[in-house]
Amino acid sequence: MVAIAFELVVNFGANHDAAERARAAVSGHPPLHVGDHRIPLHEPLLMTARSSSGREFLEMSVLPVGVGSGVAPDRGRRSIPLTGEEFGLLGHGLYGLLRRFTGYRAAQVGWNPEDRVDLDELRSDWMAELATGRMPGLTLADDVHRDLHRDLHGSGFTRFAPGHVWIPYRGEQPSDLA
């Protein structure tokens, strides 16, 4: 069974200090309020990932408890049934947490968004979506955005937090739900 996870995924590049600070922020974070639900977060998963070109980077995944299908940390737990609106609220809650992080290169909330925070894959596989603003929620460090900017005119990026821009998150659409 392939895991389908609704999560926040963050690329920290080689910034170990920022990744550890973010891990500590998630570890002590209270459950997210999503409608009538209080959804806790699993301990964040921090690992070394390899980009499509073979470069290594630190990647952190923040997984809400009981959300998704086949997610290893949820084995033996009951899934929380959420509506599209509730998934949107959960996504906004995860972005609220992301606003507390610094030193990351790219981040996104959604269904298995790992490939969308790999900077090499953004450049090679996602430029058409980026250029037209069709990656809502994608958050980039200012310097990453500047590097990509020549191909991103009119792409809809706005200020997210100091040092970061994003294409504003619109919540989840029914076709996005796993």
144-161 pLDDT per residue, tens: 998 887 656 667 889 999
pTM exceeding 0.75: yes
Longest dimension (CA), the chain: 48
Average of per-residue pLDDT across 35-62 = 95
Contact assessment for residue 133 and residue 155, using Cβ atoms and an 8 Å cutoff: yes
User: What is the domain partition of the chain in residue ranges?
Assistant: 6-176
Predicted local confidence at residue 151, as pLDDT: 59
Residue with tokens 């998150």: 169
Tell me what the pLDDT averaged over the chain comes to. Answer: 89
Cα separation, 131 vs 91, whole angstroms = 23
Q: Where are the alpha helices (DSSP H) in the chain?
A: 16-27, 84-98, 119-125, 127-131, 142-149
Contact assessment for residue 136 and residue 88, using Cβ atoms and an 8 Å cutoff: no
Burial class (CB in 10 A: 0-12, 13-18, 19+), 89: buried
What tens digit of pLDDT does each residue of 65-119 get?
988 777 777 777 788 889 989 999 999 999 999 999 999 999 999 999 999 999 9
